[in-house]
Amino acid sequence: MRPLSDPADEAKRIIDAAESRKVILRLMGGVSFLLRCPSARQANLQRNYTDLDFMAHAVQAGKLLQLFIEMGYTPEERFNAIYGLKRLIFKDAANRRRVDVFLDSLEMCHRFNFMKRLEIDRYTISLADMLVTKLQIVEINEKDVKDIISLLIDYDIGDIDDERINGGYIAGLCRDDWGIYRTFKLTLATVDDALTRMNIEREKKELVRARIARLLQLIEDVPKSLRWKIRAVIGDKRRWYELPEPEDQIIDYSAGRPNSS
């Protein structure tokens, strides 16, 4: 099977194939926003989509390896041999596309376990988890800000995982971990500031800001643990996040680019 050139269509093709094999696979990263958010296709929020990112279960790693080979992808053998318990990487030479499959958890600036949350939606991780994957980025860039804005234009903040963003779940992530709390607040402030400079209708800017305010209120209101309070005393005096290690020496990028989803 030859991978499709359109990243959203290709993601759905892979997930449908995984479902037919009883493999749980959900899209995340930039293309998940393209798939779920109509606003992501508007001129002022459009961005490039160079790679595909998925979340899956570690216990199905062997089935995932076989699936992607059958779907026309080449495994990144060295990386997979070293990190295959947590993450798999595949290459699509024809479309110069890279695929990352994270297993059970995302470990970037912070660590989040998705093991019990992969079957909330069919094609993507939940709306709340999509937002979490962007809020956790300390050195956030324009494309990630656009993803957050498109999500907050199209979906309201709620208290369950439905066609709204589960703000209670996001606030709960901040209950015990001051570092997550700190990063989420900094990222939301960055998004709010970016809105000032972006060519977006005033009504949409106001809508996004109202939803940011609602989410921040939920984050502030959730009772914090003793662990959170102890770490808060230290504050910014000690780094509260990790920076992903560069992969250039491990991954052969001759068939694609570094991950920029």
Confidence of residue 259 (pLDDT cuts 50, 70, 90): very low
> Which range of residues forms the domain containing residue 149?
7-255
Q: Residue 230: which residues within 8 A CB-CB, separation 6 or more?
A: none
Give mean pLDDT, residues 27-42.
Answer: 97
In whole angstroms, what is the distance from residue 221 CA to residue 214 CA? Answer: 11
Structural domain contains residue 238? yes
CA-closest candidate to residue 100, choices 69, 56, 67: 56
Structural domain contains residue 261? no
Confidence of residue 141 (pLDDT cuts 50, 70, 90): very high
Structural domain contains residue 1? no
pLDDT of residue 250: 52
Structural domain contains residue 204? yes
Confidence of residue 260 (pLDDT cuts 50, 70, 90): very low
Give the Cα-Cα-Cα angle 38, 45, 101 (nearest 5 degrees).
75
Give mean pLDDT, residues 38-45.
Answer: 95
Structural domain contains residue 260? no
User: Which H or E run contains 88?
Assistant: strand 87-92
Residues 62-117 have pLDDT tens digits of 999 999 999 999 999 999 999 999 999 999 999 999 999 999 999 999 999 999 99
Confidence of residue 199 (pLDDT cuts 50, 70, 90): very high
Q: Tally the domains of the chain.
A: 1
Indicate which CATH number applies to the domain containing 208. Answer: 3.30.460.40
Residue 153 CA neighbour count, 13 Å, CB half: 24
Q: Are 53 and 31 in contact (CB under 8 A)?
A: yes
Structural domain contains residue 203? yes
User: Which H or E run contains 68?
Assistant: helix 61-70
Confidence of residue 261 (pLDDT cuts 50, 70, 90): low
In whole angstroms, what is the distance from residue 111 CA to residue 119 CA? Answer: 19
Structural domain contains residue 221? yes
SS3 226: helix
Handedness of CA 169, 174, 180, 185 (dihedral sign): positive
In whole angstroms, what is the distance from residue 154 CA to residue 157 CA? Answer: 10
* Global pTM value: 0.93
- Whether the pLDDT of residue 257 is over 60: the answer is no
Residues 149-186 have pLDDT tens digits of 999 999 999 999 999 999 999 999 999 999 999 999 99
Give mean pLDDT, residues 38-57.
Answer: 95
Structural domain contains residue 246? yes
Residues 121-134 have pLDDT tens digits of 999 999 999 999 99
pLDDT of residue 256: 46
Give mean pLDDT, residues 209-233.
Answer: 98
pLDDT of residue 252: 56
